Amino acid sequence: MGGRTRAVVAAAVLLVAGACGGSGGGGSAGGTGVYGDPGAEGAGTTAPRAGAGAASAGGSRAPATTGADRGAGGGGGSAAAPTATAPRVGASGSSGAGGAAKQVTVSGPPGSYARPLLRTGDGQAILLDLLAQEGAALRPSAVDHLVAVLKRESGKAVTTSSTTIPDGPQQWTADDLTATADQRSANKATPDRHVVHVLAVHGTYEQAGVLGIAVRGDVYAVFTDEVGKAGSPLVPAAVIEEAVSTHELGHVLGLVDLVLDTNRGDPDHPGHSKSRGSVMYWAVDSDLVTQVIGGAPATDFDADDRADLAAMRSGK
């Protein structure tokens, strides 16, 4: 498989790219997939983002999904990526939030729901809709952490809902994940209460090395078996799970530069922080996380991330 091929040399970069960028790539794209698939590519990569936004508006979920994260991943190969981020945001913003702040369009790429989630006065509450397969649920400690972080950054009441979902594919595509969220969730967003769907599933993402991935403005997934395998005596899986689930939440909240244009993102890994001290560091949702970081990953946003979130909260 293509995945194996790249695993060797390009491992660090590609896998990570895969992790975040992979979503769009689709299985067919394979290793180089991020750019390989024309359709995905447009959505996934940089400029495409704009396309993604448009596409999402049109109703095409796949492109949208991939967009944010994929762009991130794609960045590894494309110099254009950096620019992509900003544009993308714009794109998603226009297609998603649109003129009416209350009109929450959650079919856009990761980041497209960030402003409604964060902005003061835009809804009073956020529901973390936990959709987990039997035996794959996030640990209570990770859930508590997500609730605390989201409450702290949004200033809104945060509650959870837990639902057990049926078995799924061994290898998930972005479409599988969004479709599952749509089919299995009984919790819909309202103007007063936003909803973020958090899938915790067995199996793997279609692209190797992915521990978690944000696939839509309101949907992200954690592959908890993969998280378990990434753990070690030195870095317990519980810590990685907390990091990965928070990292993907960060993408949903527009980090890094999926919404704002601070220019502080990692040019080699769009959508990510250059700081290893941030949970938004690019390696966090890759199975190479502990090797790349050389220890335990951060499990929370750093000061720069939090400044971005505060800016969005205040309406920027």
Binding residues vs Zn ion (CB under 5 A) = 20, 285
Residue 270 beta carbon to Zn ion: minimum distance, rounded to whole angstroms: 10
Residue 237 Cβ, how far from Zn ion at the closest point, in Å? Answer: 18
Least distance (Å) from Zn ion to the CB of residue 186? 28
Do residues 21 and 74 make contact, with C-beta atoms less than 8 angstroms apart? yes
Nearer to Zn ion, 111 or 168 (CB): 111
Q: What is the DSSP string of the chain?
A: -HHHHHHTTTIIIIIHIIIIIHHHHHHHH-TTHHHHSHHHHHHHSTTHHHHHHHHHHHT-HHHHHHHHHHHHHHTTT-TTHHHHHHHHHHHHHHHTT-S-TT---TTS-TTTTHHHHHSTTS-SEEEEEEEEETTTPPPHHHHHHHHHHHHHHH-SEEEEEEEEE----SEE-HHHHHHHHHHH------SSEEEEEEEEESSEESSTTBSEEEEETTEEEEEHHHHHHH--SSS-HHHHHHHHHHHHHHHHTTTTTTSS--S-B-TTSTTSBS-TTSTTBGGGGBTTHHHHHTSPPP-S--HHHHHHHHHHHTT-
**Cβ proximity to Zn ion, 20 vs 240, nearer residue:** 20
Of the pair 21, 26, the CB lying nearest Zn ion is at: 21
Min dist. Cβ of residue 257 to Zn ion (A)? 12
Please, which residue, 33 or 123, has the CB nearer to Zn ion? 33
CA 206 to chain centre: 15
Q: Which is nearer to Zn ion, 241 or 285 (CB)?
A: 285
The distance of closest approach from Cβ of residue 20 to Zn ion in the complex, given in angstroms and rounded to an integer, is 4
Nearest distance, CB of residue 219 and Zn ion, angstroms: 14
Whichever of 266 and 285 has its CB closer to Zn ion, that residue is: 285
Strand order across the beta sheet in which 157-165 lies? 157-165, 125-133, 193-201, 219-223, 212-216
Select 123 or 271, whichever has its Cβ closest to Zn ion: 271
CB of 254 to Zn ion, least distance (A): 12
